[in-house]
Structure 1
Amino acid sequence: MWIFITLFAAGCQSIRTAYQNTLAREAGFLHATMSRSLYGLPLVSLYLAVCWYLFGGVSVDNNPRFFVAASVCAIAQMMATYFMLRAFQSGSFALGTLLAKTEAVLAALIGLPLLHYTLTIGSWVGIFLGVLGAVVMSVKWQNIKRAHKDISLLLGLASGFCFAVTSVAASMASHSFSGSLITSAGVTLWYVLAMQSLILCGLQIYRSRDLLAPFKNELALSCKVGVLSSLGSIGWFTGFALVNPALVKTLGQIEIIGTLYYSKVRFAEKLTKQQWIGGALIVMSVILVVTSTVK
Protein backbone atom coordinates (compact mmCIF):
# COMPACT_ATOMS: atom_id res chain seq x y z
CA MET A 1 0.00 0.00 0.00
CA TRP A 2 2.85 2.40 0.81
CA ILE A 3 4.02 2.24 -2.81
CA PHE A 4 0.75 3.61 -4.22
CA ILE A 5 0.52 6.19 -1.43
CA THR A 6 4.04 7.42 -2.17
CA LEU A 7 3.43 7.66 -5.91
CA PHE A 8 0.31 9.73 -5.22
CA ALA A 9 2.25 12.02 -2.87
CA ALA A 10 5.05 12.48 -5.40
CA GLY A 11 2.58 13.45 -8.10
CA CYS A 12 0.89 16.03 -5.89
CA GLN A 13 4.23 17.45 -4.80
CA SER A 14 5.46 17.84 -8.36
CA ILE A 15 2.46 20.00 -9.29
CA ARG A 16 2.44 21.88 -5.99
CA THR A 17 6.10 22.82 -6.30
CA ALA A 18 5.44 24.52 -9.63
CA TYR A 19 2.55 26.53 -8.16
CA GLN A 20 4.56 27.38 -5.05
CA ASN A 21 7.44 28.65 -7.14
CA THR A 22 5.05 31.03 -8.92
CA LEU A 23 3.52 32.08 -5.59
CA ALA A 24 6.96 32.88 -4.16
CA ARG A 25 7.60 35.22 -7.08
CA GLU A 26 4.24 36.93 -6.72
CA ALA A 27 3.80 37.14 -2.94
CA GLY A 28 7.24 36.44 -1.43
CA PHE A 29 8.97 33.54 0.28
CA LEU A 30 7.16 33.89 3.61
CA HIS A 31 3.67 33.78 2.12
CA ALA A 32 4.56 30.92 -0.20
CA THR A 33 5.94 28.90 2.72
CA MET A 34 2.92 29.72 4.88
CA SER A 35 0.33 28.89 2.23
CA ARG A 36 1.16 25.17 2.21
CA SER A 37 0.24 24.88 5.89
CA LEU A 38 -2.52 27.45 6.47
CA TYR A 39 -4.47 26.74 3.31
CA GLY A 40 -3.96 22.99 3.63
CA LEU A 41 -5.11 22.72 7.25
CA PRO A 42 -8.90 22.63 6.57
CA LEU A 43 -8.58 19.65 4.21
CA VAL A 44 -6.26 17.83 6.61
CA SER A 45 -8.74 18.46 9.45
CA LEU A 46 -11.48 16.84 7.39
CA TYR A 47 -9.18 13.94 6.50
CA LEU A 48 -8.30 13.39 10.18
CA ALA A 49 -11.98 13.29 11.15
CA VAL A 50 -12.64 10.64 8.47
CA CYS A 51 -9.62 8.56 9.62
CA TRP A 52 -10.75 8.80 13.25
CA TYR A 53 -14.20 7.53 12.24
CA LEU A 54 -13.02 4.74 9.90
CA PHE A 55 -9.87 3.47 11.64
CA GLY A 56 -10.49 4.46 15.24
CA GLY A 57 -8.87 6.96 17.55
CA VAL A 58 -5.38 6.99 19.03
CA SER A 59 -3.95 7.74 22.44
CA VAL A 60 -0.60 9.04 23.65
CA ASP A 61 0.95 8.57 27.09
CA ASN A 62 2.43 11.36 29.17
CA ASN A 63 5.71 10.75 27.33
CA PRO A 64 6.60 14.04 25.59
CA ARG A 65 8.16 12.16 22.64
CA PHE A 66 5.29 13.02 20.27
CA PHE A 67 5.35 16.75 20.97
CA VAL A 68 9.14 16.95 20.69
CA ALA A 69 9.30 14.92 17.45
CA ALA A 70 6.29 16.64 15.85
CA SER A 71 7.60 20.10 16.76
CA VAL A 72 11.02 19.30 15.28
CA CYS A 73 9.22 18.00 12.19
CA ALA A 74 7.23 21.23 11.82
CA ILE A 75 10.26 23.51 12.16
CA ALA A 76 12.46 21.37 9.87
CA GLN A 77 9.78 21.31 7.17
CA MET A 78 9.39 25.09 7.26
CA MET A 79 13.14 25.52 6.91
CA ALA A 80 13.30 22.94 4.11
CA THR A 81 10.54 24.68 2.17
CA TYR A 82 12.19 28.07 2.63
CA PHE A 83 15.59 26.78 1.45
CA MET A 84 13.94 25.10 -1.54
CA LEU A 85 12.15 28.30 -2.58
CA ARG A 86 15.37 30.27 -2.18
CA ALA A 87 17.08 27.71 -4.42
CA PHE A 88 14.42 28.39 -7.06
CA GLN A 89 15.43 32.05 -7.09
CA SER A 90 19.20 31.54 -6.89
CA GLY A 91 19.77 31.26 -10.62
CA SER A 92 20.46 27.53 -10.78
CA PHE A 93 17.06 25.88 -10.44
CA ALA A 94 18.02 22.33 -11.44
CA LEU A 95 21.18 22.03 -9.38
CA GLY A 96 19.63 23.49 -6.25
CA THR A 97 16.32 21.67 -6.32
CA LEU A 98 17.53 18.26 -7.41
CA LEU A 99 20.33 18.25 -4.86
CA ALA A 100 17.51 18.45 -2.32
CA LYS A 101 16.93 14.83 -3.34
CA THR A 102 19.91 13.90 -1.17
CA GLU A 103 17.22 13.72 1.52
CA ALA A 104 16.78 9.99 0.80
CA VAL A 105 20.35 9.13 1.81
CA LEU A 106 20.30 11.62 4.68
CA ALA A 107 17.01 10.21 5.97
CA ALA A 108 18.53 6.73 5.97
CA LEU A 109 21.62 7.89 7.86
CA ILE A 110 19.73 10.05 10.37
CA GLY A 111 17.16 7.31 10.90
CA LEU A 112 19.68 4.59 11.74
CA PRO A 113 20.16 5.56 15.42
CA LEU A 114 16.60 6.87 15.87
CA LEU A 115 14.32 4.37 14.15
CA HIS A 116 14.04 0.61 14.47
CA TYR A 117 14.00 -0.04 10.73
CA THR A 118 16.77 -1.88 8.95
CA LEU A 119 17.67 -1.64 5.27
CA THR A 120 18.75 -4.42 2.94
CA ILE A 121 21.81 -4.08 0.74
CA GLY A 122 19.50 -3.73 -2.26
CA SER A 123 17.68 -0.85 -0.57
CA TRP A 124 20.94 0.96 0.21
CA VAL A 125 22.13 0.56 -3.37
CA GLY A 126 18.76 1.81 -4.62
CA ILE A 127 18.89 4.89 -2.39
CA PHE A 128 22.37 5.89 -3.57
CA LEU A 129 21.47 5.24 -7.22
CA GLY A 130 18.48 7.54 -6.86
CA VAL A 131 20.56 10.38 -5.49
CA LEU A 132 23.25 9.80 -8.12
CA GLY A 133 20.62 9.87 -10.87
CA ALA A 134 19.21 13.19 -9.60
CA VAL A 135 22.68 14.73 -9.53
CA VAL A 136 23.59 13.41 -12.99
CA MET A 137 20.40 14.87 -14.44
CA SER A 138 20.93 18.28 -12.88
CA VAL A 139 24.63 19.11 -12.82
CA LYS A 140 26.17 21.00 -15.72
CA TRP A 141 29.58 19.42 -15.80
CA GLN A 142 31.23 22.41 -17.46
CA ASN A 143 30.36 24.42 -14.34
CA ILE A 144 31.31 21.76 -11.80
CA LYS A 145 34.54 23.55 -10.80
CA ARG A 146 32.51 26.55 -9.70
CA ALA A 147 29.79 24.50 -7.99
CA HIS A 148 31.12 25.23 -4.49
CA LYS A 149 30.56 28.94 -5.15
CA ASP A 150 26.97 28.41 -6.29
CA ILE A 151 24.56 29.41 -3.52
CA SER A 152 21.97 27.02 -4.97
CA LEU A 153 24.28 24.11 -4.09
CA LEU A 154 24.26 25.07 -0.42
CA LEU A 155 20.55 25.83 -0.45
CA GLY A 156 19.77 22.51 -2.12
CA LEU A 157 21.82 20.52 0.36
CA ALA A 158 20.32 22.46 3.28
CA SER A 159 16.84 21.75 1.95
CA GLY A 160 17.65 18.05 1.55
CA PHE A 161 18.96 17.82 5.11
CA CYS A 162 15.91 19.56 6.58
CA PHE A 163 13.53 17.39 4.55
CA ALA A 164 15.38 14.31 5.84
CA VAL A 165 14.93 15.50 9.43
CA THR A 166 11.25 16.11 8.64
CA SER A 167 10.80 12.54 7.40
CA VAL A 168 12.47 10.89 10.38
CA ALA A 169 10.76 13.15 12.93
CA ALA A 170 7.35 12.51 11.35
CA SER A 171 7.91 8.76 11.59
CA MET A 172 8.96 9.03 15.25
CA ALA A 173 5.94 11.18 16.11
CA SER A 174 3.48 8.83 14.39
CA HIS A 175 4.86 5.83 16.27
CA SER A 176 4.39 7.60 19.61
CA PHE A 177 0.68 6.75 19.59
CA SER A 178 -1.26 3.63 20.47
CA GLY A 179 -3.81 2.79 17.78
CA SER A 180 -4.13 2.94 14.02
CA LEU A 181 -1.00 4.07 12.18
CA ILE A 182 -3.18 5.77 9.56
CA THR A 183 -4.89 7.89 12.20
CA SER A 184 -1.56 8.48 13.98
CA ALA A 185 -0.07 9.87 10.78
CA GLY A 186 -3.13 12.11 10.38
CA VAL A 187 -2.79 13.48 13.92
CA THR A 188 0.92 14.14 13.38
CA LEU A 189 0.26 15.97 10.12
CA TRP A 190 -2.52 18.06 11.67
CA TYR A 191 -0.29 19.10 14.58
CA VAL A 192 2.58 19.97 12.23
CA LEU A 193 0.41 22.11 9.95
CA ALA A 194 -1.30 23.84 12.89
CA MET A 195 2.04 24.73 14.47
CA GLN A 196 3.44 25.97 11.16
CA SER A 197 0.33 28.04 10.49
CA LEU A 198 0.56 29.77 13.88
CA ILE A 199 4.26 30.57 13.49
CA LEU A 200 4.19 31.71 9.87
CA CYS A 201 0.93 33.64 10.14
CA GLY A 202 2.29 35.38 13.22
CA LEU A 203 5.44 36.35 11.33
CA GLN A 204 3.50 37.66 8.35
CA ILE A 205 1.11 39.66 10.53
CA TYR A 206 4.01 41.09 12.55
CA ARG A 207 5.90 42.16 9.44
CA SER A 208 2.90 43.70 7.69
CA ARG A 209 1.09 45.03 10.78
CA ASP A 210 -2.10 43.66 9.23
CA LEU A 211 -4.19 40.89 10.81
CA LEU A 212 -5.62 39.92 7.42
CA ALA A 213 -2.26 39.81 5.62
CA PRO A 214 -2.20 35.98 5.25
CA PHE A 215 -5.45 36.17 3.25
CA LYS A 216 -4.75 39.15 1.00
CA ASN A 217 -2.08 37.81 -1.36
CA GLU A 218 -2.91 35.62 -4.36
CA LEU A 219 -5.83 33.87 -2.64
CA ALA A 220 -6.68 31.48 -5.50
CA LEU A 221 -3.07 30.44 -6.05
CA SER A 222 -2.54 30.05 -2.30
CA CYS A 223 -5.54 27.72 -2.13
CA LYS A 224 -4.13 25.58 -4.95
CA VAL A 225 -0.80 25.30 -3.16
CA GLY A 226 -2.54 24.47 0.12
CA VAL A 227 -4.79 21.77 -1.31
CA LEU A 228 -2.05 20.08 -3.33
CA SER A 229 0.34 20.32 -0.40
CA SER A 230 -2.16 18.77 2.02
CA LEU A 231 -2.89 15.90 -0.37
CA GLY A 232 0.81 15.28 -0.85
CA SER A 233 1.54 15.55 2.86
CA ILE A 234 -1.19 13.05 3.67
CA GLY A 235 0.58 10.60 1.38
CA TRP A 236 4.08 11.37 2.70
CA PHE A 237 3.17 11.21 6.39
CA THR A 238 1.20 7.99 5.93
CA GLY A 239 4.15 6.47 4.07
CA PHE A 240 6.57 7.57 6.80
CA ALA A 241 4.38 5.83 9.39
CA LEU A 242 4.21 2.57 7.42
CA VAL A 243 7.82 2.02 6.29
CA ASN A 244 11.33 3.47 6.53
CA PRO A 245 11.19 7.14 5.44
CA ALA A 246 14.33 6.64 3.33
CA LEU A 247 12.47 4.10 1.17
CA VAL A 248 9.48 6.41 0.79
CA LYS A 249 11.70 9.28 -0.34
CA THR A 250 13.65 7.09 -2.75
CA LEU A 251 10.47 5.88 -4.44
CA GLY A 252 9.33 9.50 -4.50
CA GLN A 253 12.26 10.28 -6.80
CA ILE A 254 10.03 9.01 -9.61
CA GLU A 255 8.48 12.50 -9.68
CA ILE A 256 11.63 13.64 -11.51
CA ILE A 257 10.72 11.35 -14.38
CA GLY A 258 7.27 12.93 -14.53
CA THR A 259 8.79 16.40 -14.55
CA LEU A 260 11.16 15.34 -17.31
CA TYR A 261 8.23 14.02 -19.36
CA TYR A 262 6.24 17.24 -19.16
CA SER A 263 9.17 19.57 -19.75
CA LYS A 264 10.94 17.54 -22.44
CA VAL A 265 8.83 14.84 -24.12
CA ARG A 266 5.41 16.46 -24.10
CA PHE A 267 6.79 19.76 -25.42
CA ALA A 268 9.03 18.06 -28.00
CA GLU A 269 12.27 19.24 -26.43
CA LYS A 270 15.32 17.09 -27.03
CA LEU A 271 16.57 14.83 -24.24
CA THR A 272 20.31 14.90 -23.66
CA LYS A 273 22.41 11.81 -23.08
CA GLN A 274 23.08 13.02 -19.54
CA GLN A 275 19.35 13.20 -18.81
CA TRP A 276 18.78 9.71 -20.22
CA ILE A 277 21.53 8.33 -17.96
CA GLY A 278 20.22 10.13 -14.88
CA GLY A 279 16.66 9.03 -15.57
CA ALA A 280 17.78 5.43 -16.03
CA LEU A 281 19.60 5.50 -12.68
CA ILE A 282 16.47 6.81 -10.95
CA VAL A 283 14.30 4.10 -12.53
CA MET A 284 16.84 1.48 -11.43
CA SER A 285 16.82 2.88 -7.90
CA VAL A 286 13.02 2.69 -7.72
CA ILE A 287 13.02 -0.91 -8.97
CA LEU A 288 15.68 -1.90 -6.43
CA VAL A 289 13.86 -0.30 -3.52
CA VAL A 290 10.50 -1.81 -4.45
CA THR A 291 11.86 -5.32 -5.11
CA SER A 292 13.95 -5.22 -1.92
CA THR A 293 10.97 -4.39 0.28
CA VAL A 294 8.05 -6.20 -1.38
CA LYS A 295 8.11 -9.96 -0.88
Structure 2
Amino acid sequence: MWIFITLFAAACQSVRTAHQNTLARESGFLHATMARSLYALPLVAAYLLVCILVFGSVSLPTGSIFFIVASVCALAQIMATYFMLRVFQSGSFALGTLLAKTEAVLAALIGLPLLHYGLSAMAWWGIAFGVFGALVMSIKWKNLANVHQDASLMFGLGSGLCFAITSVMASMASHSLKGSIMTSAGVTLLYVLLLQSGILCALQIVKTRNLCAPFKQNTGLSFKVGMLSGLGSIGWFTAFSLVNPAMVKTLGQLEILGTLYYSKYRFSERITARQWFGGAMIVISVILVTAATV
Protein backbone atom coordinates (compact mmCIF):
# COMPACT_ATOMS: atom_id res chain seq x y z
CA MET A 1 0.00 0.00 0.00
CA TRP A 2 2.87 2.39 0.78
CA ILE A 3 3.96 2.30 -2.86
CA PHE A 4 0.66 3.69 -4.14
CA ILE A 5 0.51 6.26 -1.32
CA THR A 6 4.05 7.43 -2.16
CA LEU A 7 3.33 7.72 -5.88
CA PHE A 8 0.26 9.82 -5.11
CA ALA A 9 2.29 12.06 -2.78
CA ALA A 10 5.06 12.48 -5.36
CA ALA A 11 2.56 13.45 -8.07
CA CYS A 12 0.95 16.08 -5.81
CA GLN A 13 4.33 17.45 -4.76
CA SER A 14 5.53 17.77 -8.35
CA VAL A 15 2.59 19.99 -9.30
CA ARG A 16 2.70 21.86 -5.97
CA THR A 17 6.41 22.68 -6.32
CA ALA A 18 5.83 24.19 -9.76
CA HIS A 19 3.02 26.39 -8.41
CA GLN A 20 5.11 27.28 -5.36
CA ASN A 21 7.98 28.39 -7.59
CA THR A 22 5.59 30.75 -9.38
CA LEU A 23 4.20 31.98 -6.06
CA ALA A 24 7.71 32.70 -4.76
CA ARG A 25 8.46 34.80 -7.82
CA GLU A 26 5.24 36.78 -7.48
CA SER A 27 4.84 37.09 -3.68
CA GLY A 28 8.25 36.30 -2.18
CA PHE A 29 9.89 33.37 -0.42
CA LEU A 30 8.21 33.92 2.94
CA HIS A 31 4.67 33.88 1.58
CA ALA A 32 5.38 30.90 -0.69
CA THR A 33 6.80 28.94 2.25
CA MET A 34 3.88 29.92 4.47
CA ALA A 35 1.17 29.11 1.92
CA ARG A 36 2.04 25.40 1.79
CA SER A 37 1.19 24.99 5.50
CA LEU A 38 -1.50 27.60 6.24
CA TYR A 39 -3.72 26.87 3.25
CA ALA A 40 -3.42 23.12 3.79
CA LEU A 41 -4.85 23.23 7.33
CA PRO A 42 -8.59 22.85 6.47
CA LEU A 43 -7.97 19.81 4.28
CA VAL A 44 -5.67 18.11 6.80
CA ALA A 45 -8.08 18.82 9.69
CA ALA A 46 -10.92 17.22 7.73
CA TYR A 47 -8.70 14.23 6.88
CA LEU A 48 -7.78 13.73 10.55
CA LEU A 49 -11.45 13.79 11.54
CA VAL A 50 -12.18 11.05 8.99
CA CYS A 51 -9.25 8.99 10.32
CA ILE A 52 -10.53 9.28 13.89
CA LEU A 53 -14.02 8.18 12.84
CA VAL A 54 -12.77 5.27 10.71
CA PHE A 55 -9.61 4.06 12.49
CA GLY A 56 -10.10 5.37 16.02
CA SER A 57 -8.31 7.97 18.13
CA VAL A 58 -4.76 7.96 19.51
CA SER A 59 -3.25 8.84 22.87
CA LEU A 60 -0.10 10.76 23.72
CA PRO A 61 2.74 8.92 25.47
CA THR A 62 4.01 10.04 28.86
CA GLY A 63 6.61 12.77 28.53
CA SER A 64 7.08 15.32 25.78
CA ILE A 65 8.84 13.22 23.13
CA PHE A 66 6.06 13.71 20.56
CA PHE A 67 6.09 17.50 20.81
CA ILE A 68 9.90 17.70 20.68
CA VAL A 69 10.26 15.43 17.66
CA ALA A 70 7.25 16.88 15.80
CA SER A 71 8.52 20.42 16.44
CA VAL A 72 11.94 19.54 15.00
CA CYS A 73 10.08 18.07 12.00
CA ALA A 74 8.14 21.32 11.50
CA LEU A 75 11.21 23.56 11.72
CA ALA A 76 13.26 21.31 9.42
CA GLN A 77 10.52 21.36 6.79
CA ILE A 78 10.36 25.17 6.90
CA MET A 79 14.11 25.39 6.31
CA ALA A 80 13.98 22.72 3.59
CA THR A 81 11.28 24.58 1.67
CA TYR A 82 13.07 27.93 2.07
CA PHE A 83 16.40 26.50 0.84
CA MET A 84 14.72 24.90 -2.17
CA LEU A 85 13.03 28.16 -3.14
CA ARG A 86 16.39 29.93 -2.84
CA VAL A 87 17.85 27.43 -5.32
CA PHE A 88 15.05 28.31 -7.74
CA GLN A 89 16.23 31.92 -7.56
CA SER A 90 19.96 31.23 -7.88
CA GLY A 91 19.78 28.22 -10.20
CA SER A 92 16.71 26.73 -11.84
CA PHE A 93 13.49 24.91 -11.07
CA ALA A 94 14.94 21.57 -12.15
CA LEU A 95 18.19 22.11 -10.24
CA GLY A 96 16.45 22.95 -6.97
CA THR A 97 14.16 19.95 -7.07
CA LEU A 98 16.90 17.54 -8.13
CA LEU A 99 19.42 18.56 -5.49
CA ALA A 100 16.77 18.19 -2.80
CA LYS A 101 16.53 14.53 -3.85
CA THR A 102 19.77 13.80 -1.98
CA GLU A 103 17.37 13.46 0.96
CA ALA A 104 16.91 9.75 0.20
CA VAL A 105 20.40 8.66 1.22
CA LEU A 106 20.52 11.23 4.03
CA ALA A 107 17.23 9.87 5.40
CA ALA A 108 18.70 6.36 5.29
CA LEU A 109 21.81 7.45 7.22
CA ILE A 110 19.90 9.52 9.80
CA GLY A 111 17.25 6.85 10.21
CA LEU A 112 19.67 4.01 10.95
CA PRO A 113 20.43 5.01 14.56
CA LEU A 114 17.07 6.68 15.24
CA LEU A 115 14.54 4.33 13.66
CA HIS A 116 16.52 1.07 13.68
CA TYR A 117 15.34 0.23 10.17
CA GLY A 118 17.50 -2.19 8.20
CA LEU A 119 18.03 -1.99 4.44
CA SER A 120 18.90 -4.78 2.03
CA ALA A 121 21.90 -4.53 -0.32
CA MET A 122 19.53 -3.97 -3.25
CA ALA A 123 17.84 -1.10 -1.43
CA TRP A 124 21.20 0.56 -0.68
CA TRP A 125 22.17 0.24 -4.34
CA GLY A 126 18.86 1.79 -5.32
CA ILE A 127 19.36 4.74 -2.97
CA ALA A 128 22.93 5.23 -4.25
CA PHE A 129 21.79 5.19 -7.89
CA GLY A 130 19.10 7.74 -7.11
CA VAL A 131 21.39 10.20 -5.37
CA PHE A 132 24.13 9.84 -7.99
CA GLY A 133 21.56 10.34 -10.73
CA ALA A 134 20.36 13.56 -9.08
CA LEU A 135 23.94 14.84 -8.84
CA VAL A 136 24.66 13.90 -12.47
CA MET A 137 21.64 15.95 -13.50
CA SER A 138 22.57 19.01 -11.49
CA ILE A 139 26.37 19.39 -11.31
CA LYS A 140 28.40 20.76 -14.21
CA TRP A 141 31.44 18.51 -14.04
CA LYS A 142 33.78 21.03 -15.71
CA ASN A 143 33.15 23.32 -12.72
CA LEU A 144 33.57 20.54 -10.15
CA ALA A 145 36.70 22.13 -8.61
CA ASN A 146 34.70 25.21 -7.67
CA VAL A 147 31.52 23.40 -6.75
CA HIS A 148 31.83 24.44 -3.08
CA GLN A 149 31.34 28.04 -4.22
CA ASP A 150 28.07 27.26 -5.99
CA ALA A 151 25.23 28.77 -3.94
CA SER A 152 22.69 26.61 -5.77
CA LEU A 153 24.51 23.45 -4.71
CA MET A 154 24.82 24.55 -1.08
CA PHE A 155 21.17 25.55 -0.81
CA GLY A 156 20.11 22.37 -2.62
CA LEU A 157 22.09 20.05 -0.36
CA GLY A 158 20.85 21.99 2.66
CA SER A 159 17.32 21.43 1.44
CA GLY A 160 17.97 17.71 1.02
CA LEU A 161 19.37 17.43 4.54
CA CYS A 162 16.42 19.28 6.07
CA PHE A 163 13.90 17.21 4.10
CA ALA A 164 15.66 14.05 5.34
CA ILE A 165 15.40 15.25 8.94
CA THR A 166 11.73 16.05 8.31
CA SER A 167 10.91 12.55 7.09
CA VAL A 168 12.76 10.77 9.92
CA MET A 169 11.26 13.03 12.61
CA ALA A 170 7.76 12.57 11.12
CA SER A 171 8.16 8.82 11.39
CA MET A 172 9.44 9.04 14.98
CA ALA A 173 6.61 11.37 16.02
CA SER A 174 3.92 9.15 14.51
CA HIS A 175 5.30 6.01 16.14
CA SER A 176 5.47 7.75 19.53
CA LEU A 177 1.66 7.93 19.60
CA LYS A 178 -0.48 5.02 20.77
CA GLY A 179 -3.26 3.88 18.45
CA SER A 180 -3.96 3.61 14.73
CA ILE A 181 -0.92 4.44 12.61
CA MET A 182 -3.16 6.23 10.09
CA THR A 183 -4.59 8.52 12.77
CA SER A 184 -1.13 8.96 14.29
CA ALA A 185 0.21 10.22 10.96
CA GLY A 186 -2.73 12.61 10.69
CA VAL A 187 -2.19 13.98 14.21
CA THR A 188 1.51 14.49 13.53
CA LEU A 189 0.82 16.28 10.25
CA LEU A 190 -1.80 18.59 11.75
CA TYR A 191 0.50 19.56 14.64
CA VAL A 192 3.38 20.22 12.23
CA LEU A 193 1.23 22.42 9.97
CA LEU A 194 -0.23 24.35 12.92
CA LEU A 195 3.24 25.14 14.27
CA GLN A 196 4.58 26.06 10.84
CA SER A 197 1.57 28.29 10.10
CA GLY A 198 1.91 30.08 13.43
CA ILE A 199 5.62 30.79 12.95
CA LEU A 200 5.43 31.85 9.31
CA CYS A 201 2.27 33.93 9.67
CA ALA A 202 3.85 35.78 12.60
CA LEU A 203 6.96 36.49 10.55
CA GLN A 204 4.92 37.75 7.60
CA ILE A 205 2.74 39.95 9.81
CA VAL A 206 5.80 41.46 11.49
CA LYS A 207 7.48 42.02 8.13
CA THR A 208 4.47 43.66 6.48
CA ARG A 209 2.90 45.17 9.63
CA ASN A 210 -0.44 43.91 8.35
CA LEU A 211 -2.48 41.32 10.24
CA CYS A 212 -4.24 40.24 7.04
CA ALA A 213 -1.06 39.87 4.96
CA PRO A 214 -1.08 36.03 4.93
CA PHE A 215 -4.55 36.06 3.35
CA LYS A 216 -4.19 38.95 0.90
CA GLN A 217 -1.32 37.97 -1.38
CA ASN A 218 -2.14 35.91 -4.44
CA THR A 219 -4.95 34.05 -2.68
CA GLY A 220 -5.95 31.83 -5.60
CA LEU A 221 -2.44 30.50 -6.23
CA SER A 222 -1.78 30.22 -2.48
CA PHE A 223 -4.90 28.05 -2.15
CA LYS A 224 -3.67 25.75 -4.96
CA VAL A 225 -0.27 25.40 -3.30
CA GLY A 226 -1.92 24.66 0.07
CA MET A 227 -4.36 22.07 -1.24
CA LEU A 228 -1.70 20.22 -3.24
CA SER A 229 0.67 20.43 -0.30
CA GLY A 230 -2.00 19.05 2.03
CA LEU A 231 -2.72 16.09 -0.24
CA GLY A 232 0.97 15.39 -0.74
CA SER A 233 1.77 15.69 2.97
CA ILE A 234 -1.02 13.29 3.88
CA GLY A 235 0.58 10.78 1.54
CA TRP A 236 4.15 11.40 2.73
CA PHE A 237 3.40 11.30 6.46
CA THR A 238 1.30 8.15 6.08
CA ALA A 239 4.02 6.42 4.06
CA PHE A 240 6.70 7.48 6.58
CA SER A 241 4.65 5.75 9.26
CA LEU A 242 4.38 2.51 7.30
CA VAL A 243 7.97 1.87 6.11
CA ASN A 244 11.51 3.22 6.25
CA PRO A 245 11.42 6.91 5.18
CA ALA A 246 14.49 6.31 3.01
CA MET A 247 12.52 3.82 0.91
CA VAL A 248 9.63 6.26 0.61
CA LYS A 249 11.88 9.08 -0.51
CA THR A 250 13.71 6.93 -3.04
CA LEU A 251 10.45 5.82 -4.66
CA GLY A 252 9.38 9.46 -4.52
CA GLN A 253 12.24 10.26 -6.90
CA LEU A 254 9.72 9.59 -9.66
CA GLU A 255 8.60 13.13 -8.95
CA ILE A 256 11.57 14.10 -11.13
CA LEU A 257 9.63 13.07 -14.23
CA GLY A 258 7.14 15.80 -13.38
CA THR A 259 10.02 18.16 -12.61
CA LEU A 260 11.49 17.68 -16.08
CA TYR A 261 8.11 18.32 -17.67
CA TYR A 262 7.47 21.53 -15.74
CA SER A 263 11.06 22.69 -16.15
CA LYS A 264 10.85 22.35 -19.93
CA TYR A 265 7.27 23.38 -20.71
CA ARG A 266 6.25 25.69 -17.83
CA PHE A 267 9.50 27.51 -17.12
CA SER A 268 11.10 27.11 -20.59
CA GLU A 269 14.32 25.63 -19.20
CA ARG A 270 16.55 23.54 -21.46
CA ILE A 271 16.94 19.87 -20.45
CA THR A 272 20.38 18.53 -21.40
CA ALA A 273 21.42 15.01 -22.35
CA ARG A 274 23.28 14.80 -19.03
CA GLN A 275 20.06 15.52 -17.15
CA TRP A 276 18.15 12.90 -19.12
CA PHE A 277 20.92 10.38 -18.29
CA GLY A 278 20.67 11.25 -14.61
CA GLY A 279 16.90 10.86 -14.83
CA ALA A 280 17.35 7.35 -16.23
CA MET A 281 19.57 6.46 -13.28
CA ILE A 282 16.89 7.69 -10.91
CA VAL A 283 14.28 5.52 -12.60
CA ILE A 284 16.64 2.53 -12.17
CA SER A 285 17.00 3.41 -8.49
CA VAL A 286 13.24 3.40 -8.05
CA ILE A 287 12.99 -0.02 -9.69
CA LEU A 288 15.69 -1.43 -7.39
CA VAL A 289 14.13 -0.03 -4.21
CA THR A 290 10.65 -1.20 -5.19
CA ALA A 291 11.98 -4.69 -6.05
CA ALA A 292 13.73 -4.83 -2.67
CA THR A 293 10.42 -4.50 -0.85
CA VAL A 294 8.28 -6.99 -2.78
Q: Does TM, scored on the shorter chain, surpass 0.5?
A: yes
Map Cα deviations across residues 14-60 of structure 1 (whole Å, 9 max, x no partner). 10001111111111111110000100001000000001111111111
- Separation in 2, partners of 1:78, 1:24: 14
Percent sequence identity over aligned pairs: 71
Deviation at 1:96, TM superposition (A): 3.8
Say whether the 8 Å CA contact 2:97–2:256 is kept in structure 1.
no
Mapped pair 1:134 → 2:134: yes
For residue 19 of structure 2, what is the aligned residue in structure 1? 19
One-letter amino acid of the structure 2 residue matched with residue 141 of structure 1: W
One-letter amino acid of the structure 1 residue matched with residue 114 of structure 2: L
One-letter amino acid of the structure 1 residue matched with residue 202 of structure 2: G
For residue 35 of structure 1, what is the aligned residue in structure 2? 35
How does the TM-score come out when normalised to structure 2?
0.95
Say whether the 8 Å CA contact 2:21–2:93 is kept in structure 1.
no
Cα pair distance change 1:78/1:278, threshold 3 Å: same
Q: What residue ranges of structure 2 are gaps of 5+ in the alignment?
A: none
- Partner-residue secondary structure (3-state), 2:221: helix
Cα pair distance change 1:261/1:13, threshold 3 Å: same
Cα pair distance change 1:272/1:93, threshold 3 Å: closer
For residue 221 of structure 2, what is the aligned residue in structure 1? 221
One-letter amino acid of the structure 2 residue matched with residue 195 of structure 1: L
Quote the RMSD (CA, aligned, Å).
2.0
Correspondences of 1:1-295 after superposition (within 5 Å): 1-261=1-261, 263=263, 272-294=272-294
- Partner-residue secondary structure (3-state), 2:153: helix
Map Cα deviations across residues 62-102 of structure 1 (whole Å, 9 max, x no partner). 22111111000000000100111111101344444311111
One-letter amino acid of the structure 2 residue matched with residue 249 of structure 1: K
Map Cα deviations across residues 93-117 of structure 1 (whole Å, 9 max, x no partner). 4444311111101101011110021
- Separation in 2, partners of 1:227, 1:266: 20
Q: What residue ranges of structure 1 are gaps of 5+ in the alignment?
A: none
- Separation in 2, partners of 1:70, 1:251: 23
Deviation at 1:293, TM superposition (A): 1.1
Say whether the 8 Å CA contact 2:185–2:238 is kept in structure 1.
yes
Say whether the 8 Å CA contact 1:126–1:288 is kept in structure 2.
yes
Deviation at 1:270, TM superposition (A): 8.6
Cα pair distance change 1:143/1:96, threshold 3 Å: farther
Cα pair distance change 1:132/1:158, threshold 3 Å: same
Cα pair distance change 1:119/1:77, threshold 3 Å: same
- Separation in 1, partners of 2:22, 2:230: 18
Say whether the 8 Å CA contact 1:94–1:139 is kept in structure 2.
no
- Separation in 1, partners of 2:89, 2:260: 20
- Partner-residue secondary structure (3-state), 1:62: coil
How does the TM-score come out when normalised to structure 1?
0.95
